[in-house]
Structure 1
Amino acid sequence: MKKMIILLCVLQTMMIAVTAQINSNSTSPNRFAASLRGGYDALPFYNNNTPYINYKGGPAAGASVNYYWGWLGLGGDFDYIQNRPQSNYPTGAYAGSALNLQEDKITRMFYGIGPSLKYQRNDRFAAELFLRGGLASIKGGYTNLSATSPAQLLNYHVGYDAKNVLSAKAQAQFSYYFTRSVGVHAGIYYMRHFKTPELTDAKLGFSAAYLPVAGDNAGSQPSLAQRSNACNCDISSLGAFAGVSIQLPKKEKKPAPKEDCNTCDNYALAVTARDQYTNEVLPNTDVVIKNVYGEIIHGGTTNNYGVIVFSNIRPDNYSIAGKLFDVDLKGTAANKNDFKPNQTLQKEILYTDDRFILRGQVVECNVANPLTGASVVLTNTVKAEQKTTHTNDKGAFIFHALQNATYSVYAKKNDYFSQTETITTLSFDRNKTLFIKLEVCMEKTDCGKAIILKNIYYDLDKFFIREDAKPELNKLAQFMKDNPGVKVELSSHTDSRASDTYNMTLSQKRADAAVDYLVLQGIEKVRLIPVGYGERRLLNRCKDGVDCSEAEHQINRRTEIKVICPDNR
């Protein structure tokens, strides 16, 4: 009884709370709502003439539909409840006798309609109170406890098979909506069935009976002294539940276009995207405004000053999110009360990633035309980690670079040979720098056109491949792997010093050494043609008899590649 009083008090408090809020600024719009629930009928009370039968709780399920006009609605409910009788007859006096016990579950089904009250201050949370009146069917509850030696009926109740029982229910529930239409809810209910008729056993002529025990007013006669006729008594219960809520907002008509109004209030929201470390503003940052359901209602990109302004925005509760080069910014929120008429609400979102942004461009060498659709490969030279991206219509690309790291960058595109650039972030401070600029040059590999390989140096009178030359040859190996149909001529040149014959031999050995190195890198030898040109193709004035510096002579000591034209293969 104490538990029942407590639950009744809780239910009454919930009813008062919901009803009291109806007169406040509820935002409940006209809409259709439905809910499915499952729960537990915790405290059933069956008022009948069976003092030695307790009624236990059981599963409950149901559904509700409502249509609201603002905070007031009309709805219908269906509930299915299951209880079970439990005999608590004292059987100590029959310890030596075999006992038989039969107990059948009770099912209740309720159908009701009535008013619904709803309080919804914002779009996420809602509190509802349902008041229902209707009819119920109640069936089951047969209980029979008997002793076999001597044969004796100890505790007996025929049960129920009642239809169209006048019933009422009060239900309070609280909902939380994940989206505009779907949410979850939890609540409690109180249900009462009025004057529920019991069955009467046609053979025995009574509805309930029990054998009195010591202490009962009827004494302890060995007969069924306490017999009862059918009792049209009330049945009630308290229960709790949880489930899924669905609401379908009424389609709002689009307002007719308004004429310009110089006196109307206007609300605006300005969002600035900024780097957390450098405080640098971030142009071209994608910004979205979401409502409480997470739905995007406004969006755009920041300007060159890192700002985007949303004009004519309706004051409400919003979340603000941003993204720059696939990295989410730390968002913020705008509260309804923050908006002021004819003022712009200022909000800021932050880029908190501690990596650098490597912002590069791929261009054609000596022309500076941007190359679109090129694959750009970034390799962490320490961790051997590799990432690939593609250039856009302006030849631009983006990578994120770790602090204190060194990278090599090259590009791939049909009929182009890429220079490899090395960049290190060791010399940059993330608290001062976010963007690192880089340009990658690619040379057009037209057949027959020579491309000079940089940094291919040889010691005097030597032809072995030095360590400082290997990166450039590795780049050539990668180019040939990316273009498996290409065959190249690999040529070496000398300066004008020494005899023509000596220089021809030396340049050929140098070309052969370069080919051997490329073969070790996995390039088929048939695709490589080594040619030594000696001093026959000088690039400057430093021919025999001309006094030149060492640096000028070095220009002529070079290695070139040339894509072989198809007719020459």
Structure 2
Amino acid sequence: MKTNFKIILAMLLIGMGFQNSRAQVSNAIEKTAKKTEWQFSTRAGYDFPNYKEDFKYIDYKGGFMGGISINHYWSWFGLQADFDYIKNSPKSNINNPFYENNGPIPTAIAYTDVTVTKNDITRMFVGAGPSFRHLSKNNKFQAELSLLAGLGTIDGGEILVEGVRKDDSKDPLTYHSGWDKQNLFAGKVQARFTYFFNQHWGVNAGAYYMNYFGGAQESTKNDLLVSNGYMTAGSPQQVYYYEAGTTAIRQDVDGGSTTINAFNSDQIVRDNLGGNSGTADLRRKIDLSSVGVFAGLTYRFSPSKKAPKEIVEVTKTAPVEKKYCVQTTAKDKFTNEILPNTDVSIKDSKGVVVETAKTDAFGVVKFCDLLPDDYTIEGMYNDIALEGNTAKKSEFKNDQTIIKDILYADSNFIIKGKAVICNTSIAIDGVTIVLKNNQLASQKNTNTNQKGEFTFQALQNTNYSIYGKKENYLSQTMTIFTKDYDRNKSLFIQLEICMDAADCGTAIALKNIHYDLGKYFIREDAKPELNRLVQFMNDNPGVKVELSSHTDSRASNAYNQTLSQNRANAAVDYITSQGIARARLTGKGYGESKLLNRCADGVECSEAEHQSNRRTEVKVICPQ
């Protein structure tokens, strides 16, 4: 009992500290909390009971608990009413069935099995008391402490453990009568934490300590003993606790000791130690407490205010209230970069959205025609919520515009790109942009808008591949290493995806397809560009292409023709090795027959002019 008192006293001191701490909360939090509010909560969890008994071979295990709470708050203080339903179960801890007849438990080898017959324990609690709460600045997080008193009930818990002999006869090993349904005064201390994901609904989790005062008195029914033939119905004798091979000793009220002897065939003998016939009541009141953990749902609402009575006669015109403006700038928390096109909303003290807008090119949005009130400013950029801000009623004065910032605090980068036709500034809309995380083997997709723009969120210290997909377009593939960027200096990674229009019959030069002098094997530095063609053919499964190879005018025509054909064939072989059907590919060597400049045989040209003629091209084969 002293332990229970200490626990309750400690929880009370916590409650007092909780109350004192709210005096130090800022005016912003106090004004958020100063409103009448109702809350309805449900919970389910697990209860761990603690029965103050000395039963050697019987334990009481935890079990399911469920309950509901109703709270009514005035600011930080309120009242709470609770109902809890709890199921516990008795259990035998005899795990070796081989016991000697009438010997102490456990001993030798007489039994072949153990059977357990039991009734679960049903407990309930109904109570009420004060509750204290603390609300976060944004009204989303709530911590509560409740001190409740009321009525607790307990019923059940009878258990009979029997040893089975080889001839299938049974002997009782241990027994407890449990408790008849009875009501007890009970107290409960509960701590609960709630996160509200919108104005009304939230999820909660918490823990409690519950104590039944005065002790629960053992049952006199002995239903299991009667049903198993150890006692007759209506017998004046009762058994409250039994242990085979020993004598259970209980203290009498007058200080003497009373015992229950072992079972004798079909009856139970109850004697005093002095040899007199048993008359003492061996029932005992067993103290009970428990702790539990739970989680559940919470619904809150504030009662609507009554509408004002209709004014029949107007003697004078009410003064017009002044209206004000709140100007908000969206910034990155680490770099102070402004955030254009950020969704911003402003809510009044009741949580009602007054207005929404997007920031302009300078990251600024202005809300006007506002009456003085406590406002909350929230923002969303690239599907990430910004750290909001508040504009308090006390700040609306002197016809001044209130200036506030909201901050993007996510530690990841934002890839901000644009898809354009190669060698132009012409934007391409409707392109599916694919961002592959090369370390996690995952990918994300998005589509470009009418301006060809797109955004992605990118993790730090990660490398990505990025390219575009659109019918009849051949996309550049880019690699991004975010470790090359400092998040404290930059939020955005700017890039441009170049795409060639792959119209049938139009040749597109593949860049960086170089061969060693006089050779035709595919070098490693040529593979990324050929992989770009592989990706294009995977994205356009009905397309067939011609790969053509060209040389400069140096060396003979026959040599150049053979070399270019071999190079075209090598390119086809590589693309086929990447899973593209050979039937979709044609390799064609043109030698020096299609020069792009004046550098024919006998004409002196620079190395750069000859280089422009040494090329590999691809074109979509027009359908017949």
> What's the counterpart of residue 87 of structure 1?
none
2:193 to 176, 193, 202: 176
- The answer as to whether partners of 1:119 and 1:127 remain within 8 angstroms in 2 is yes
> What's the counterpart of residue 27 of structure 2?
none
> What's the counterpart of residue 42 of structure 1?
50
- Count how many residue pairs are aligned between Structure 1 and Structure 2: 508
Q: Which moved more, 1:264-273 or 1:507-516?
A: 264-273
> What's the counterpart of residue 117 of structure 1?
130
Is 1:31–2:39 an aligned residue pair? yes
> What's the counterpart of residue 350 of structure 2?
none
Structure 1 distance, partners of 2:339, 2:58, is 65
Give the match's secondary structure for 2:409: strand
> What's the counterpart of residue 407 of structure 2?
348
- 1:360 to 1:257, Cα distance in 2 relative to 1, 3 A: farther
CA offsets 1:199-225 (integer angstroms, 9 cap, x no match): 899777899998999x97799997434
Is 1:478–2:529 an aligned residue pair? no
Structure 2 distance, partners of 1:404, 1:160, is 63
- 1:285 to 1:545, Cα distance in 2 relative to 1, 3 A: same
- 1:297 to 1:37, Cα distance in 2 relative to 1, 3 A: farther
Give the match's secondary structure for 1:565: coil
Structure 1 distance, partners of 2:55, 2:85, is 28
> What's the counterpart of residue 565 of structure 1?
622
> What's the counterpart of residue 79 of structure 2?
72
> What's the counterpart of residue 439 of structure 1?
496
CA offsets 1:99-144 (integer angstroms, 9 cap, x no match): 899x9999876666554433333353222233324776678699xx
CA RMSD of aligned residues (A): 6.5
> What's the counterpart of residue 471 of structure 2?
414
Matches within 5 A, 1:223-372: 223-225=274-276, 227-228=278-279, 235=285, 237-244=287-294, 246=296, 248-249=298-299, 251-252=301-302, 272-274=330-332, 276=334, 278-283=335-340, 304-306=361-363, 341-342=395-396, 346-353=405-412, 357=415, 359-363=417-421, 365=423, 368-370=426-428, 372=430
> What's the counterpart of residue 392 of structure 1?
448
Give the match's secondary structure for 1:515: helix
CA offsets 1:36-67 (integer angstroms, 9 cap, x no match): 5654553549xxxxxx9999984576655444
Counterpart AA for 1:441? C
> What's the counterpart of residue 566 of structure 2?
513
1:128 to 137, 146, 154: 146
CA offsets 1:8-52 (integer angstroms, 9 cap, x no match): 24335646876998999887832334455654553549xxxxxx9
> What's the counterpart of residue 149 of structure 1?
none
Structure 2 distance, partners of 1:279, 1:63, is 49
- The answer as to whether partners of 2:564 and 2:589 remain within 8 angstroms in 1 is yes
Structure 1 distance, partners of 2:3, 2:622, is 95
> What's the counterpart of residue 191 of structure 1?
213
- 1:225 to 1:309, Cα distance in 2 relative to 1, 3 A: farther
Structure 2 distance, partners of 1:270, 1:299, is 12
Structure 2 distance, partners of 1:476, 1:197, is 83
- 1:339 to 1:300, Cα distance in 2 relative to 1, 3 A: same
State the percentage of identical aligned residues: 22
CA offsets 1:139-176 (integer angstroms, 9 cap, x no match): 8699xxxxxxxxxxxxxx9978856x563222222223
Structure 2 distance, partners of 1:344, 1:406, is 39
- 1:9 to 1:412, Cα distance in 2 relative to 1, 3 A: closer
Counterpart AA for 2:530? N
Structure 2 distance, partners of 1:195, 1:420, is 79
Structure 2 distance, partners of 1:379, 1:136, is 59
- The answer as to whether partners of 1:126 and 1:176 remain within 8 angstroms in 2 is yes
> What's the counterpart of residue 505 of structure 2?
448
Give the match's secondary structure for 1:508: helix
Counterpart AA for 2:275? L
- The answer as to whether partners of 2:521 and 2:567 remain within 8 angstroms in 1 is yes
Q: Which moved more, 1:75-84 or 1:555-564?
A: 75-84
Deviation for aligned residue 1:242:
0.6
- 1:75 to 1:229, Cα distance in 2 relative to 1, 3 A: same
Deviation for aligned residue 1:235:
3.8
- The answer as to whether partners of 2:342 and 2:379 remain within 8 angstroms in 1 is no
Structure 2 distance, partners of 1:409, 1:227, is 90
Deviation for aligned residue 1:358:
6.7
Looking at CA atoms only, which structure, 1 or 2, has the larger radius of gyration? 1
Structure 1 distance, partners of 2:218, 2:462, is 82
Structure 1 distance, partners of 2:85, 2:279, is 33
CA offsets 1:387-407 (integer angstroms, 9 cap, x no match): 785551343455788999999
Structure 2 distance, partners of 1:549, 1:226, is 128
- The answer as to whether partners of 1:166 and 1:193 remain within 8 angstroms in 2 is no
Counterpart AA for 2:299? P
Give the match's secondary structure for 1:446: coil
Unpaired runs of 5+ in structure 1? 46-51, 85-96, 143-156, 291-295
Counterpart AA for 1:174? A
Structure 2 distance, partners of 1:444, 1:413, is 10
Normalised by the length of structure 1, the TM-score is 0.61
CA offsets 1:424-478 (integer angstroms, 9 cap, x no match): 9999777655545443433333333333455678999x68679699469736853
- 1:470 to 1:264, Cα distance in 2 relative to 1, 3 A: same
Structure 1 distance, partners of 2:250, 2:551, is 122
- 1:465 to 1:244, Cα distance in 2 relative to 1, 3 A: closer
Deviation for aligned residue 1:239:
0.8
